[in-house]
Amino acid sequence: MSSHSTIAGSLEEPESTYLPQVVFPAGNYDFRAARNRCARACREFNKTPDDADPEERAQKWLDIVRPDRDRSEDRVLAVTHDQTFANPALKAKTPFVKPPVYIDYGIRLHVGGSTFINRNCMIMDTPVADVVIGEGCNIGANCTIIGVTHPMRLDERLQRHSIGQPVTIGNDVWIGANVTIFGGVTIGSGAVIGACSLVKHHIPPMSVAFGSPARVVKHLRDVKPCVPGSPTAGTMAEAVRMRNRLPMRHATSSSFLHHDEGSGPGDGEGSVEEGEEDGHRMDIMGGRRQSPFAMRARLNTARRVAERLELDSEGELRGLLLRERKQKERRMRRFEVEAIAVVTVAVTLLMAFFFTGVWFGASRVAVMGA
């Protein structure tokens, strides 16, 4: 990492410096004053237009994360991620952050100079634990990093203390939109986090993870390349002339069963079209009419299973769903047989006890009559 980067120190910190959580009184005056200072700096940064001078953007960012710096270095640090596209010889020293951004303290937030952070990022950092984002990262819109929490026990919460936890994101990590990352988590270098994921456990390097909570689904070496052979638009004029629109006739249930292997974490799951044919719905679901919500859930499940089993055709998926339905019917029949057997045994025992009682009662009456 560059010595002029906004990261202070190396990602390889000594293990003895790691504290899983640190308690601090966030409501005290000095902590509140630090938050107010950061809030003012964020407010000024968020007023910065996208086409502002790089030196102005860098200065306002550094006002958030390094308020006590030597300001004579601001001109040297005014090289951001976007400028390196036009001049690859430049080395980014201040991250390119699109406003608005919301940060609590900033003083222990370290972001690599070549990192890009998209709009509406929220970083709930603390003054007792580092939040580190490495070099070359791409962080999607509406992401949240939560480095603060509170005690779970009521008696501890009533003391109104906060708990700070460190977060470390390695180099060259891609985090999709709307991802939430909890404190005490490390995301290894080169990892990819799918959109809308909730990261509450460590993610190993060079892996793909998504879900709530996020789970590793594959290693990057298993992902097929998507760039070679794809159409390319090298200029804005070429991009505008390119005809590229997804026809509505392709929006059928088969689109839920197949997707491009190269799709990134920012891609959505799609939605069920109202005009889908009922016959196709019933055919895919094994002959039973499904509501759109139930069909979407089962199709998404089938698609995930197909990814893991590497099924390529819709016929194979239809067979997989049919086998699943038959297995479920067999389980239901077995459950019904077992339930009937249990009820039969219970009724038999009750009748045996009843008639045994009647026999003893009749015998006793007969003895007393004699």
**Annotated active-site positions, please?**
150
CB 191 within 8 A of CB 214: no
Cα(94)–Cα(4) distance, integer angstroms: 8
> Cα angle vertex 270, ends 268, 276, to 5°?
175
Taking Cα atoms as reference points, which of 35, 15, 61 lies closest to residue 186? 15
Rounded to whole angstroms, what are the CA distances from 14 to 9, 109, 113, 127?
11, 18, 23, 19
Q: DSSP letters of 281-347?
A: HHHHTTS----HHHHHHHHHHHHHHHHHHT--SHHHHHHHHHHHHHHHHHHHHHHHHHHHHHHHHHH
